[in-house]
Structure 1
Amino acid sequence: MSPTFRRHTLAGQMLVLQLALVVVVLLAVAAVSLAQSQATFHRVEGRRVGALAEQLAAAPLMRGQLTRPAQDDALDTLVQSTHVQSGVTSVTVADRTGRIVASTDPTAVGHRLPLGAGVSRGRGWSGRLVWSGGQELVAQVPVLGDTERDVGRRLGTVMVGEAYPTVWQRISGASSYLLAYLGVASGLGVAGSWLLSRRVKRQTLGLEPREIAGLAEHREAMLYGIAEGVVALDPQGRITLVNDVGRRLLGLPADCVGASLADLGIEGRLRDVLAGAHGPAADVDRQDQVVVRDGRVLVMNRMTVAKDGRPLGSVTTLRDRTELARLEREIGSFRSSSELLRAQAHEFANQLHTISGLIQIGEQEEVVRYIRALNQRRQSLDMTLARRVRDTAVAALLMAKSAQAAERRVTLRISDDTALDRLAPEDAADVATVVGNLIDNAVDAVDGRTGADAWVEVGLRQDAASVEIEVRDSGPGVAPELAHEVFAHGFTTKAAEGGERGIGLALTRLVCERHGGEVAVTNTPDGAMFTARMSVSHPARAVAEGASR
C-alpha cells in the first residue's frame, strides 16, 4: 500500500481530532469576543453620537440657520468643526422637509435624509443606517423652535453617525491581550493533544483501531467456536468473560458477566477451582481438576493471567466428561470380559507351571491333589456367584475383579447375604459401573498390605425397586474431613490419602443420582465402607424383558 493511501494511526487521528476541537474553541472565543465588542460599540458610541446630536440640535446657531437660512457658510462651518472636534464619521443637517442642507459628505447635499421612526413627530432615534457607502451607527435628533412663533415646532433634523468597525478592528479592540491568549491556548491545545494521543497509544499496546477490532472479532470466533467452556475472572472473583459452552456446563444465567461467584451461588469445590483458593497457596494454576456440577462430570484447567507482575485474573477451561462416562458404561461388559480372560490366562499359566514342576520331580500324587484343590475352589466361586448373583453382567464383572484382585494379592469376598436377581440391561450396566468403581477404589486402598490383611468384601442386596451395593475393605479408611467431599471432588480412595484425583467416585455418584439414589462412605474398625443405593426396574419385568429378547 502506497503512503498516499495509508490509513492514519490512532495517535494521528487523536491529534487531528484534538486540533479540530481547539480550532472550534478558538473560533467560539473569537465569536464571543466579536459579539462583546459589538455590544460595547453600540453602548459607548451610541451614547456619544446621541449626546453630540442633541448638543448640535440645541445650539442657537443651528436653530437660527434653519429658521432663516443665510447665504453664508455658517451651517457648513458648524458641521465641519463638529466633525473635526468629535472625530465622528459623519454629521448631517436636514431642514423640516427632510432635504439635506449641510453634511460632511458634500455629495449628499440636496438629497433627502431617511428619517428614523418617530423623528418626524419630534422624538429622537438611533440605530443602524447605510450612509455614505457604508454602515453607520447614527443618532437623529429633531431641532425644535424656541421662539413664540415656532415654539415646539420641528425646524429640521441633526444626524451624527459613527462607522461600524471592521472585524479585525473589533478583535484587536476587544482586548489588548486577546491574541496572546489565543496563541497560548493554541499551544496548550496542541501539546495536550499530542500527549493524549501518546497515552492512548501506550494503553492500547501500540495497536491501531482496525487491529483492535480484528482481535475482538478473532476472540469472539475462538470463544464461541470451540467445544470447550471458557470462564475468565478478574482478581476480585467477578466473571469478565464466559462463552456459551461454559455458561451451559456451569448452569449460569445469561447476564452472569460482571457478577461475582458468590452472587451466582458457586461454592465448594467449583469455587475453589475457579478462584484458585485451593491447596497450600491461593491463586495457583490447576490442571485436570475433576468437579461434579448439576449431574455433569467436568474436567477443569485453570491458568492465572498477569502483566508486568500485576495480576489480571484467571482463565479456566472446562471439558464435559459425562458423555465419556456413558460410553465407558456401555463398553463395561466387554472390558470386564477381556480383563477376566487376561487374568484367568495369567492364573492358568501359573497353575500349569506348578503342575509341570510337580511332574518333573515325580510327585504325581501331589499333582492330583493340587488339581482337585483348584477344581474345588473354582467350583466354589462359580457356584457362589451363580447362586447369589443371577445377573450375568454383574457376575462376569465380579469374576473379572476377583482375578484382578488375586493378581495384586488381594482377596475379593462375596458377603453371605448377597442376593441379586436378573436386571434390565440398562440397569445391569449401571450397577456394574458402580460395583466396578467401588471395587477398584477398595483394591487401591488395600494395595501394599499382605496376607489376610488384604481383603475386599462385596455385598449386593435387592428389593422390589432398588439395589444396595456395599463394598468394605481392610484399608486405612477415609479421613473424616474428606468423608463428605470425596464424591463432589471426584476423589478415589488413593486421592483421599494425597494421591491424584480421579473420576471413579464422581461417576459412581452421578450414576446413583440418575437412578434416584445416593452413595456414602463411613469408616469401620476394619477400614472404609462405601454404600450405594439406586432404583432399578421391577425384577419380574426385567426377567420378562430378558425372556422376550
Structure 2
Amino acid sequence: MPARPTLAGQLLVFQLTVVLCVLAVVAALSLAQSEATFNAEQGRRVTQLAERLASDDLVRARIIEPAPSQTLAPLVQSTLTHSQVASVTIADADGTVLVSTNPLLVGTELPTGDPGVFDGRGWRGELDVGRGRELVAQVPVMGAGGAGGTGGGNLGEVLGVVMVGQDSQTVGERLVDASPNLLLYLGVASVLGLGGSWLLARRIKRATFGMEPREIAGLAEHREAMLYGIAEGVVALDSAEQITLVNDVGRRLLDLPADSVGRSLDSLDLSGRLRDVLTGVVTGADQVVVQAGRVLVVNRMSVEKDGRDLGSVATLRDRTELAQLERDLGAFRSTAEALRAQAHEFDNKLHTISGLIQIGEHDEVVAYVEALGRQRRGLDVSIDGPIRDKAVAALLAAKSAQAAERQVRLEVAPGSALGPLEATDSADVGTVVGNLVDNAFDAAAGGDDAWVSVEIRETEGGVDITVTDSGPGVPPETAQEVFAHGYTTKAAASGERGIGLALTKLVCEHHGGEVTVANTADGARFSARLPLAPGALSGFGPPTEELTIHKGVR
C-alpha cells in the first residue's frame, strides 16, 4: 500500500500549485497588457502612415489613371522602406489591389475588416493578408476635386483604399516586450513562493507536534469519546476565566446552558465557593461544593506551557448520593454511640447498686432505684411528651445519652411540640436535628457549663427547628459561607469539618425552606425551616404541662 503524503508535503504541493496559478495569471495579464500596448502604439502608427499616403496628391491623381501601378509602385516601396512596416497596399474603388509590397495580393480583392471602408470610413484591426496575420489600418482615398494635376476625382468621391500593415507579435515577442525583466520577476516570485511554502509547512508541522491530519482527527475523536463517555464532569477555563470546554455531565451538574462554551463565569452567574475553586482562589484536592442542590467534589489542575498560563481544567464528581449514605451511616453511628453511652451509664449504675448491696445499705439501694425511675420518667416527659414523632423522639433520647457522655447539658426548649410525621418527612427532620445537634456538641464540648438547647415547633405548613449552643460562635467572615463550605461552629478553632451543614442546607432547600446562623450572647444559633406538604402534620399543639429539662448524668 503506498504511503500517504504527509501534511507538510500536502501543504507544499498546495502552495506550489497556488504559486504556479498566480504566476500564470501574472504572465497572462502581462501578455494582455503587452498586446494592448502594441496594438495601441502600432495601430496609431500604421493609421497615420495610411492617412498620410491616402491624402498624398500623387496617389489621388494616379489611382484613377490607366496603369497606376507603374507610378504608384515606387511610392509604395519607398513608404515600406522608410516606415519599416510589413506591407503597403493600394486598391481601387472596386476593391481590386492595384499595387502592393506583397506581390500575391496584386490583382486580387482587397481583404477588408469593415466593408464601410469603401463608403469613406476608416478601419483598424488584425487581418490575414496572405503572409500571415497583421495589424492593419485601412483608410479611403477621397477625391479632392482639384485641377492641374493637384488631385483627382470629384470632391468627396472614394477613389480607392490604402492599407498599411504591421506584423502581429508572437507570444515570445510579447513576453520580451512586456518587460525585459519579466522572466526574472517570475523566477524570483517562484523562489519566494516555494521558500514560503516550505517554511509554512515546517511551522505547521511543529505546531501539530509532527502529527498528520488523520492522527489529529483520531485524537479529537478520542477526546470527544473520553469527555462525553466518563461519568465525571469536566470544565476547562482559559486565562480570562472563560469556559472553553464543558461536557454534558459538567453542564448538568452545574446547571449550565447549552451555549456556555465561550462565556465567562460572571455571565453564567457562577459565584461564591464554586467560583473560588474553579479559579484557584481556593486550592487543595477534593474540595466540597454545594451547587444546584448537589454535593460536588471538585479537583482543579492548572495548565501551563513554556511558563504561560493557559487556564485550568476541573473535574466534578457528584457525591449527593454518597452524602446521603454518609448521612444514613451517621445516623447508625449516632445510635451506636448512644448505645455505648447508655451501656457505660448502665454499668455505672449497676456498680453503684452492687456497692450499696455489698456494704449493706439496702434502704439506699431502694432509694437509688426509685431516683433512677423518676429520672427515666422525667426524660420521657421532657422528650416523648412534646415530641410525639417516635423517630425524632428516639433521636433526641440518643443525643441525650451522647450529651451525658460528652459532659454537655442537652435541653429541649419549653414550647417545643411535634406531632407524628410521614416516614420521609420524619427522616428529613431527624437529619436536620441530628446534624445541627452534633455540630452544636462539637462547638460546646470542653467549655465550662456546656449546654445545647433544641427547640422544635410546628408552624402553619412546616416545622421550625432552632439549635443554640454555648460554644464560641461562628466567625463573622464565614457566617455567610458556613453551609456552602461545610463548616461547623467548631471551625473557629479547628478548621473545616465534613459536609454536615451542607447536607442540612440541601434537605431544607429540597423542601423549599432554608437554614440560617446567627451569633448570640451565649454562642451560635442555627435556625432551620422545613415546609411540609399539606396533611403531613397532625395539628398537634403545645402540651398543657410544663416541660422539664433533661441534664446529662455520667
TM-score for the superposition, normalised by structure 2: 0.84
Partner of 1:160: 164
Looking at structure 2, the residues matched to 541 and 292 of structure 1 have their Cα atoms a distance apart, in angstroms, of: 33
Looking at structure 2, the residues matched to 33 and 458 of structure 1 have their Cα atoms a distance apart, in angstroms, of: 98
SS in 1 for 2:522: coil
Look up the equivalent residue of 2:89 and give its one-letter code.
Answer: T
Deviation (angstroms), 1:34: 1.3
Deviation (angstroms), 1:473: 2.5
Instruction: Give a deviation string over 1:459-512, Cα, whole Å, max 9, x none.
Output: 333345433323232322211222222123332223344522422111112222
Looking at structure 2, the residues matched to 345 and 522 of structure 1 have their Cα atoms a distance apart, in angstroms, of: 36
| Selected match of 2:506 from 502, 505, 510 | 510
Answer yes or no: is 1:101 the counterpart of 2:103: no
Looking at structure 2, the residues matched to 542 and 424 of structure 1 have their Cα atoms a distance apart, in angstroms, of: 13
Write the mapping of 1:288-437 to structure 2, written as runs, cut at 5 A: 288-326=286-324, 336-345=334-343, 354=351, 363=359, 365=361, 368=365, 372=369, 377=375, 380-382=378-380, 384-437=382-435
Q: Which runs of 5+ in 2 are unaligned?
A: 541-554
Deviation (angstroms), 1:346: 5.4
Partner of 2:261: 257
- CA 1:89 to 1:65, structure 2 compared with 1: closer, same or farther past 3 Å? same
- CA 1:541 to 1:104, structure 2 compared with 1: closer, same or farther past 3 Å? same
SS in 2 for 1:67: coil
Q: Which runs of 5+ in 1 are unaligned?
A: 279-284, 544-549
Deviation (angstroms), 1:19: 2.3
Look up the equivalent residue of 2:119 and give its one-letter code.
Answer: R
- CA 1:266 to 1:540, structure 2 compared with 1: closer, same or farther past 3 Å? closer
Looking at structure 2, the residues matched to 195 and 498 of structure 1 have their Cα atoms a distance apart, in angstroms, of: 62
| Selected match of 1:150 from 148, 153, 162 | 153
Deviation (angstroms), 1:48: 1.3
Instruction: Give a deviation string over 1:423-482, Cα, whole Å, max 9, x none.
Output: 2212210111001101221222234x16x5344333333345433323232322211222
- CA 1:166 to 1:343, structure 2 compared with 1: closer, same or farther past 3 Å? farther
Partner of 1:462: 458
TM-score for the superposition, normalised by structure 1: 0.85
- CA 1:419 to 1:54, structure 2 compared with 1: closer, same or farther past 3 Å? closer
- CA 1:431 to 1:269, structure 2 compared with 1: closer, same or farther past 3 Å? same
Looking at structure 2, the residues matched to 341 and 510 of structure 1 have their Cα atoms a distance apart, in angstroms, of: 29
Answer yes or no: is 1:244 the counterpart of 2:240: no
Q: Give the aligned CA root-mean-square deviation in angstroms.
A: 3.3
- CA 1:501 to 1:207, structure 2 compared with 1: closer, same or farther past 3 Å? farther
Write the mapping of 1:46-57 to structure 2, written as runs, cut at 5 A: 46-57=43-54
Contact 1:459 1:469 in 2 (8 A): yes
- CA 1:237 to 1:71, structure 2 compared with 1: closer, same or farther past 3 Å? closer
SS in 2 for 1:453: coil
Instruction: Give a deviation string over 1:100-128, Cα, whole Å, max 9, x none.
Output: 23323322322211233322123322212
- CA 1:422 to 1:58, structure 2 compared with 1: closer, same or farther past 3 Å? closer
Partner of 2:527: 531
Partner of 1:270: 274
Looking at structure 1, the residues matched to 99 and 129 of structure 2 have their Cα atoms a distance apart, in angstroms, of: 15
Look up the equivalent residue of 2:47 and give its one-letter code.
Answer: G
Looking at structure 1, the residues matched to 69 and 520 of structure 2 have their Cα atoms a distance apart, in angstroms, of: 143
Looking at structure 1, the residues matched to 411 and 423 of structure 2 have their Cα atoms a distance apart, in angstroms, of: 25
Answer yes or no: is 1:113 the counterpart of 2:113: no
Structure 1 window deviating more from structure 2 (71-80 vs 35-44): it is: 71-80
Look up the equivalent residue of 1:433 and give its one-letter code.
Answer: T
Partner of 1:233: 237
Contact 1:340 1:400 in 2 (8 A): yes
Instruction: Give a deviation string over 1:160-212, Cα, whole Å, max 9, x none.
Output: 11121011111110112222222222222222222333333333343333333
Structure 1 window deviating more from structure 2 (183-192 vs 405-414): it is: 405-414
Contact 1:470 1:532 in 2 (8 A): yes
- CA 1:337 to 1:91, structure 2 compared with 1: closer, same or farther past 3 Å? same
Partner of 2:80: 83
Deviation (angstroms), 1:335: 5.5
Look up the equivalent residue of 1:175 and give its one-letter code.
Answer: S
Looking at structure 2, the residues matched to 301 and 518 of structure 1 have their Cα atoms a distance apart, in angstroms, of: 28
Looking at structure 1, the residues matched to 431 and 388 of structure 2 have their Cα atoms a distance apart, in angstroms, of: 17
Contact 1:464 1:538 in 2 (8 A): no
